[in-house]
Amino acid sequence: MPSKKTTPKPCQMRLTELPNGESGRVLSLDGEAGTCARLREMGFCESAVIEKIAGQRTLLCQLCGIRIALSDQAADHIVVESIRKVV
């Protein structure tokens, strides 16, 4: 009898929870409409790939080749899935 393979669900978390040095793909923005609109204007839209470079209170992220500093309060509105780097 063949075994069933299940695809593991992606690890979903807030951008603030993503470990430094790791990358994540934006799944959704969670918050007030104005806050979400501002984050989208900055490039944090669904499917965007973000690398969290450093930080806890103020996060340094790389998005579309640009480094952006983001407060932890703003980053807490961004839901990401951790993605693995192919080496």
Nearest-angstrom CA–CA distance, 59 and 5: 37
Q: Beta-carbon neighbour count of residue 8 at 10 Å?
A: 5
pLDDT number for residue 56: 86
The ranges of the chain with pLDDT < 50 are 3, 5-8
pLDDT number for residue 11: 77
Instruction: Give the list of residues 6+ apart from residue 28 with CB closer than 8 angstroms, or none.
Output: 46, 79
Domain boundaries, the chain: 12-83
pLDDT number for residue 85: 59
**Architecture of domain 12-83 in CATH?**
Roll (2.30)
